[in-house]
Structure 1
C-alpha cells in the first residue's frame, strides 16, 4: 500500500488504530451464557426478532451479542476521532478535564481564516460523534462554555466538530439558551471533513484517511492474531442446557425463555428437570 497521507505518518496512524482497538478492552472478550445474560435477556423480544426477521438462532444470538458489545463502543470511536489530532501539526489534545476541558486545541501563528473572512489564531474544539447526541440542555451548556472562552480570548474561535454531521458544513452555530435563540460568528458547527481541511490545508484529507482506514485496521487485527477474535459459546451452551426438552423443535425457544423466566410459574418446573 502506498501511503498517501501527508499530514500523518503511516507509523503514527497504525499506532493510533492499535490504541483505539485496545480501548475496546473487555468487549473483545468472548461471550458465554453468563455474560450474555448478565443484565437478563428479554426472551419474548428475542423470539419476535428471530421470527419476524426470518433469522436462525445462531444469527439471532450473534446479533444480540453484537448489540451488547456495540452499546459501549461509541466512546472508543470518540477516542479515535479525538486523539488522532495529537499527531497532526499545530493541533494539541489536552488530557481529559484539563485546559478547559477542550477536546482539541488548534493554534496557527500564521492565522486561521474562517468562512466569513474572520482571522483568529486559535480554535478550541468540542467534539461529538454524532449531530444528535446533545439534548437542548447540553447544547446550551456547551454554547455558554464557548461564549466564556471568547470573553477570555478575543483571538479565537470555538468549534462544535461532529464526526457524523447532517452534511458537510462550517457554519455559525445557533442554539437555544434560556429560551432565547443565540448565535455568534466565532462559535461554529463544523463537520469533521471541514475541520480536517482547516488543520491540514487539504480539502480531501478526511476522505483520504477513510480510504486507508480499512486496510490499516485489518493489518492491526492480523498482526494481533487470535487475541482480537472472540470465540463466543452462547449458542452451543444454550442448546446443551435445553437438550433434555422433549419437543426437539422447541429446544432453543425453551433455552431462551429460561434465560429470563427460570423462576416464573411453569418455567421453574423445567429448571428442576
Structure 2
C-alpha cells in the first residue's frame, strides 16, 4: 500500500509514533494489585460507580487502571503533537527551554500569509493540548511573551496552537492581561488542523495524518517485540483469588469485599477479614496487600 502523507515520510512518521510510545515509559508497566493500590483506591466510589453505571467488575477495575495511567499521558501526547513538526519542511522544534522556549518555529523565506493578508517570514508557536488548560494567569504570561517577541521582531507572528480547540480556527487571540482586554492581529489562536494546513499547504493534512495514525500505532505495537512494552495487568485475577476465599456464596459481595480490602484492610472489622484470609491463603495477592498496608501504617 502506498504511503498517503506527502509532508512526512513513512519512516519518519513510524519512528515518531514509536518514540511517542516509548515516552509512556513506566505507565506501560503492567499493573498488579499492589501497584494498582499504591495510592490506595477509593473502594466506596468503585462500588457506587459499578452499581450506578451498571458496569462489570472487569470494566470498573479496568477504568481505574486507565485513569491512573491517563493522569500523566497528556505530556506524552503533547510530545507527539509538538515533535512531529521536526520532520515537516520549514519547521524547527527547539530543544526544551532554548530559543525563547517556543515549541515550534515555522520559517519560510518566501513569506507566510496570515488570514488578514499580512505577510511575515517567521511564526513562533506555543502549543497546548486543550483549549482550557491555561488559567488566566498562564494565558496572560503567554500573551506577554508573544508581545515581547513582536517587539523584538516585527517580521513575525505568534500562534497559540491548540490540539483540542473548541472549533477549527485561525483568529486573533483576545484575552485579558492585568485586567485589560488585549488582542493583536499577529498574535493568533489557531486550531491544530489549521496549523497543519498552513505549514504543509494541504487543507486536510491533519485529517490525513489522523487517518493513517491508527494503523501505524498498531504496526509499531505488533512489530515492536521487546522494544515496545504492552501491559498485561493482573489486578482482576488477583482480586478474584481474594474473593474466592471470602466466606460467602454471593459472588458480587465477595468481589466487593475484595475491593473493600484495597482501602480498608486495617479498618475495624475489615482487618479481621483480611487476617482470616491471609491465614488461609499463603502467598496470595491479599497477603501482599496486607503486608504492604502494615508497612505504610506501621501496624502490628
Q: Is TM-score (shorter-chain normalized) higher than 0.5?
A: yes
Distance 1:67 1:102 in 2: 30
Please, which moves more after superposition, 63-72 or 9-18? 63-72
Query: Which residue does the alignment assign to 1:223?
Result: 223
Please, which moves more after superposition, 118-127 or 64-73? 64-73
Query: Which residue does the alignment assign to 1:99?
Result: 99
Distance 1:215 1:235 in 2: 29
Q: Secondary structure at the match of 2:244?
A: coil
Q: 1:271 aligns with which of 255, 266, 274?
A: 274
Structure 1 residue 178 corresponds to structure 2 residue 181: no
For residues 83-111 of structure 1, the C-alpha deviation after alignment (integer angstroms, 9 at most, x for no partner) is 00000001000000111100000011100
Query: Which residue does the alignment assign to 2:15?
Result: 15
For residues 26-46 of structure 1, the C-alpha deviation after alignment (integer angstroms, 9 at most, x for no partner) is 111110011000111000000
Query: Which residue does the alignment assign to 1:136?
Result: 136
**Superposed, which structure 2 residues align to 1:56-205 within 5 Å?**
56-205=56-205
Please, which moves more after superposition, 27-36 or 52-61? 52-61
Distance 1:217 1:60 in 2: 26
Q: Secondary structure at the match of 1:161?
A: strand
Structure 1 residue 53 corresponds to structure 2 residue 49: no
Distance 2:231 2:197 in 1: 37
Q: Secondary structure at the match of 2:186?
A: strand
Larger Cα-atom Rg: 2
- 1:225, distance to aligned residue in structure 2 (A): 3.8
Query: Which residue does the alignment assign to 1:208?
Result: 208
**Superposed, which structure 2 residues align to 1:245-260 within 5 Å?**
245-249=246-250, 250-260=253-263
Q: Secondary structure at the match of 1:109?
A: strand
- 1:270, distance to aligned residue in structure 2 (A): 1.3
* CA RMSD after TM alignment: 1.1
Q: Secondary structure at the match of 2:62?
A: helix
For residues 186-244 of structure 1, the C-alpha deviation after alignment (integer angstroms, 9 at most, x for no partner) is 00000011111111111111111111111111111110247532111111112222432
Structure 2's unaligned 5+ residue stretches are 277-300
Please, which moves more after superposition, 230-239 or 27-36? 230-239
Q: Secondary structure at the match of 2:220?
A: helix
Structure 1 residue 233 corresponds to structure 2 residue 234: yes
**Superposed, which structure 2 residues align to 1:23-62 within 5 Å?**
23-62=23-62
Distance 2:105 2:243 in 1: 57
Q: Secondary structure at the match of 1:110?
A: strand
Q: Secondary structure at the match of 1:125?
A: strand
Query: Which residue does the alignment assign to 1:6?
Result: 6
Q: Secondary structure at the match of 2:89?
A: coil
How many residue pairs get matched? Answer: 273
Distance 2:223 2:70 in 1: 23
Structure 1's unaligned 5+ residue stretches are none
